[in-house]
Amino acid sequence: MAHCPPRIGPVALASAVLLLPPPVAGVPEPRAALLDYYAAVDSGDCARAAALRPGYAQSACAAIAGTRVLAATIIAREAGRAVLSLSVTVDKRDGPTQRFNGQVGMRRCGDQWYVPSWAFSNAGGSDFTERFLNGSLDHSTDFCASTVPVPAAADVVASPEAPPVPDPAPAAVAHGTVTVGSPYLLARCWTDADLAALPHEAELTTATAPLPPLRRQPAVDRWSGTAQPPFMNLRFVRPAGGARLVALTFNLIERPGEVAGYDTDLVQALRSARAPATLFASGRWMQSHPERTRQLMADPLFELGSLGWDHRNMIFPEPNEALRQWRLADAVYHQLRWDLSHRRCTADARGREEMAHIPALPTLLRFPYGRCDRSALAVAATAGLPIVQWSLVLDDIAHGSSIESMRTRVRDDLARRGPGLIVVGHADGRGRHTAAVVRLLLADLSADGYQPVTVSTLLSAGEPVAYPACFEHRPGDNLDYDDRFSD
Amino acid sequence: MLFAAMITAAPALASPPHTSVGSQAILEHCWSSAQLRGTARDQILLELEDAALFNRAPPARTRPLVPAQPLPAELRGSIRSVALPPGDKRIALTFDLCEMASDVTGYDAELVNYLRRHRVRATFYAGGKWMRSHPEKTKQLMADPLFELGNHAWTHGNLRYLATDEAAEQILWTQAQYELLREELAASACVRRLPAAELTAIPHRLLSFRFPFGTCNDSALRQLAQAGLPAVQWDIVTGDPTRRTSAKDIARRILNNARPGSIVIAHANGRGWSTAESLDLFVPRLRQAGYAFATVSELITAGRPHIVNQCFWSRPGDNDYVDGRYGKGTEKPWPR
């Protein structure tokens, strides 16, 4: 294969897979089931509500106009039983709003948690908790025999307080998709108007003033350790079973002297096609696009990786400059996420819970200009994250590229080199026609049976192929960047 | 004396000058008109019943970095209105954006939209935690040349009741939170594409202070004087946080009591139940009567503040019960 270097053999980076968050597992969660139950009552899905709460009459559910869970916290939990403190308001169709403040017991049968109809205690206290857990309150010896399978949720009519939550799931791949972010928060924290483009936003312009980093210290420092070699730079993945996967990645770069853009057109093209993608951002770009960064963090379609602070070539920095670059990017990301977690839209119990789906720090790294050396690799490796190069260049920043030339080349390359490639383009206003090409490419990929996935999903789908070096197509082919960008 | 002042005064100003702060260009570059309009959802109040949800985290910065000059003697104390030169018939509408530790309040989009549509200048007293929960709204209000932002304490603390260090947190955390959001705006691509003068027009700090519950004591007044923040109360109470106060009631109270230099207190955090609706009942009529609208700083600059040494709603002693009922004031009292 043309992209294989002649002498250095590809090294399977098995450990990279272990470093990733595990795929979303089917561990049942009593609190989620309780919220599920109230959501079913609230939306009038009484069949589902009755299934989640054995012994509860659907007619009682039908008499309720709406519910609002104000708080639900697990206070005790065992393998098959849990007790939660609960505060909920219930609007009766023909009566006043009632409030329940107390405790509720839950039972687990198989992989499903249920709310026994009788297990609500107004008085609460440790007495109820203890007696529920030890079974002395049970109404029957075999609760699970009385349960029925829980039907899927019916379509929910949105209320103004709970905005419609779009279906987050891109078509699932057989091996499981690594998803970060929260469709709930994306819908709750921003309107369509907030996600839409602003005039001039995609433009890359010259900065009139320097932009120092606002946050200098990461709250969590993952750069203080040392890593054991080999230090590897991921180029592509060999998906198990030859699954036709491809990872689209876009850089969000801001260099000193620049005000970088945000290619809303491209992002909206990915959103409307439900095409997952990975975005690698300079810390400086995140700082100049705080609200866009938070939207990307929350969007389950996207994964965010770090490019360091201001896209300096990591080959020539003075001692500790590489560390400073990675740390500054972590610091701004962490601050932006912290801000999001202290907003109105994340203040309630659900909002707080959903924030857990947004990674605390970027989950991937990429070297600016795709350039590194052994010492730069060793520094980057200390965070224990996959370091991601690319194996197919969209060439959206090359002057000679046209929509058709880019489209044809990517399609030909995929046909020749097979699945598992990592494509790189730009979403910071640097790219020419990037959105237009991507729209066509997404249609081509779909026609050819390819599925776009994030880098983490790709990594979880097969055998990573990584090299202890940085290059475009073959070792040594990008050294000219060191002359052009050595400051 | 008064008579002499009247005959030597400058002729009435057809269009009183104002010291405009903010940047229309930033407002238009950083948000679309749909974003500025907001939605009905913005107004919903969120009561946090579970103490575990209370957000007690301090802001990311707890001391303001922007230096402040202590207040001159003539601005110390509780400002209730401003005596303006004859012919200057401006009044200040002020809207509090209160938020306690135990709630997350809203943003009255309809009210702000009316003010923008009819070019009504106003001052918003924002809680520090409110600014943190509503960062985009805060940045919009700070950038808008029509409006001025003031400090309404971090979590609506009762400054008469709090210990000195707790009172200092209420004041200074809020000043610091404003700085953080102004810095975020300043670093944003939409601002950095514009000439630097646009950003410079946005004040570096909150310019005045409004006591939560309208309560103060000498120590709190001294702390504010030290922090360079005039304490701004009011002479017209709309009563808009009471549900049974109708739009007509609000308009009547304002129209019956308006004098040049008046300061009106109302709410824009969703707790002013009929406030937005009331605007059209009094704004046009005040304008017909020759009144214009100014921010609090504009009034203070233009005239001589009427200052008292105690804090009350309408007459001394009328908010004494607050200490017993609300205590520190940072959480809604039980039963909620």
List pLDDT tens digits, range A111-125: 889 998 878 877 555
B336, part of any domain: no
From B2-16, B110-124, B230-244, the region with the lowest mean pLDDT: B2-16
Residue A235 has pLDDT above 50, yes or no: yes
B75, part of any domain: no
- Which of B53, B132, B135 is nearest residue A348 as measured by Cβ atoms? B53
From A136-150, A373-387, B77-91, B276-290, the region with the lowest mean pLDDT: A136-150
Average pLDDT over every residue of A155-161:
40
pLDDT in tens, A87-136: 777 877 776 667 777 788 999 988 889 998 878 877 555 677 778 888 88
pLDDT confidence bin for A18, thresholds 50/70/90: very low
Q: With CB atoms and an 8 Å threshold, state whether A85 touches B133.
A: no
pLDDT confidence bin for A486, thresholds 50/70/90: low
CB contacts under 8 A, B 93-122 vs A, are 104, 106
Residue A82 has phi, psi (to 5 degrees) of -150, 150
B115, part of any domain: yes
In the prediction, which pLDDT does B105 show? 95
Residue of higher predicted confidence among A170 and A469: A469
- A199 and A313 in one domain? yes
Determine contact: B65 vs chain A, CB below 8 A.
no
Q: With CB atoms and an 8 Å threshold, state whether B189 touches A191.
A: no
Residue B11 has pLDDT above 50, yes or no: no
Residue A330 has pLDDT above 70, yes or no: yes
Q: With CB atoms and an 8 Å threshold, state whether B187 touches A287.
A: yes
- A48 and A16 in one domain? no
Residues in chain B with CB shorter than 8 Å from the CB of A161 are 41, 44
B20, part of any domain: no
User: SS3 string of chain B?
Assistant: CHHHHHHHCCCCCCCCCCCCCCCHHHHHHHCCHHHHHCCHHHHCCEECCCHHHCCCCCCCCCCCCCCCCCCCHHHCCEEEEEECCCCCCEEEEEEEECCCCCEECCCCHHHHHHHHHCCCCEEEEECHHHHHHCHHHHHHHHHCCCEEEEECCCCCCCCCCCCHHHHHHHHHHHHHHHHHHHHHHHHCHHHHCCCHHHHHCCCCCCCCECCHHHCCCHHHHHHHHHCCCCEECCCEECCCCCCCCCHHHHHHHHHHHCCCCCEEEEECCCCCCCHHHHHHHHHHHHHHCCCEECCHHHHHHHCEEEEECCCCCCCCCCCCCHHHHHCCCCCCCCCC
Average pLDDT over every residue of B108-125:
98
pLDDT in tens, A439-465: 999 999 999 999 999 999 999 999 999
Residues in chain A with CB shorter than 8 Å from the CB of B336 are none
Q: Tell me the shortest Cα–Cα distance from A411 to chain B, in angstroms.
A: 35
Please tell me the distance from the alpha carbon of residue A429 to that of residue A431, in angstroms, as a whole number: 6
- Residues whose CB falls within 8 Å of the CB of residue A277, separated by 6 or more in sequence, listed in order: A247, A248, A249, A250, A270, A301, A302, A303, A452, A454
B1, part of any domain: no
Select from A106, A129, A146 the last residue of a domain. A146
Select from A126, A146, A166 the last residue of a domain. A146
pLDDT confidence bin for A27, thresholds 50/70/90: low
With pLDDT > 90 as the criterion, what percentage of chain A qualifies?
Answer: 53
CATH number for the domain harbouring residue A77: 3.10.450.50
Of A320, A297, A329, nearest to A214 by C-alpha is A329
B79, part of any domain: no
Of A385, A400, A176, nearest to A280 by C-alpha is A385
pLDDT in tens, A405-434: 999 999 999 999 999 999 999 999 999 999
B22, part of any domain: no
Select from A146, A165, A195 the last residue of a domain. A146
CB contacts under 8 A, B 216-275 vs A, are none
Q: With CB atoms and an 8 Å threshold, state whether B133 touches A289.
A: no
Residue A219 has pLDDT above 90, yes or no: no
A166, part of any domain: no
CATH number for the domain harbouring residue A16: 3.20.20.370
pLDDT in tens, B176-211: 999 999 999 999 999 999 999 999 999 999 999 999
The length of chain B in residues reads 336
Q: With CB atoms and an 8 Å threshold, state whether A200 touches B193.
A: yes
In the prediction, which pLDDT does A127 show? 74
Q: Which of A203, A342, A355 is best to mutate for the B interface (most B CBs within 10 A)?
A: A342
Of B144, B152, B159, nearest to B295 by C-alpha is B144
The domain of B288 spans 89-326
In the prediction, which pLDDT does A367 show? 97
Residue of higher predicted confidence among A169 and A279: A279
A116, part of any domain: yes
Summary mean pLDDT of chain A: 84
A159, part of any domain: no
Number of domains in chain A: 2
- Which of A160, A191, A289 is nearest residue B189 as measured by Cβ atoms? A289
In the prediction, which pLDDT does A155 show? 52
In the prediction, which pLDDT does A169 show? 40
Residue B59 has pLDDT above 90, yes or no: yes
CATH number for the domain harbouring residue B308: 3.20.20.370
A169, part of any domain: no
pLDDT in tens, A335-358: 999 999 999 999 999 999 999 999
Q: With CB atoms and an 8 Å threshold, state whether B133 touches A342.
A: yes
Residue A190 has pLDDT above 90, yes or no: yes
Q: Are B105 and B45 in contact (CB under 8 A)?
A: yes
Q: Which one-letter DSSP state was computed for residue A169?
A: P
Residues in chain B with CB shorter than 8 Å from the CB of A291 are 136, 188
A136, part of any domain: yes
- A34 and A113 in one domain? yes
With vertex at residue A369, the alpha carbon angle to CA A366 and CA A372, rounded to the nearest 5 degrees, is 70
Residue A22 token pair: 């595990």
Please tell me the distance from the alpha carbon of residue A405 to that of residue B334, in angstroms, as a whole number: 69
Determine contact: B335 vs chain A, CB below 8 A.
no
Sequence-ordered strand ranges (E) for A116-225: 120-121, 205-206
In the prediction, which pLDDT does A126 show? 63
- A243 and A189 in one domain? yes
Q: What is the ipTM metric for this complex?
A: 0.92
A163, part of any domain: no
A97: left (phi over 0), alpha (psi -120 to 50) or beta: beta
Summary mean pLDDT of chain B: 92
A156, part of any domain: no
Q: Which of A335, A344, A430 is best to mutate for the B interface (most B CBs within 10 A)?
A: A344
Please tell me the distance from the alpha carbon of residue A237 to that of residue A246, in angstroms, as a whole number: 9
> Which of A4-8, A80-84, A400-404, B78-82: highest mean pLDDT?
B78-82
Q: Tell me the shortest Cα–Cα distance from B120 to chain A, in angstroms.
A: 25
A247, part of any domain: yes
In the prediction, which pLDDT does A399 show? 87
The domain of A237 spans 11-23+175-484
Q: With CB atoms and an 8 Å threshold, state whether A161 touches B41.
A: yes
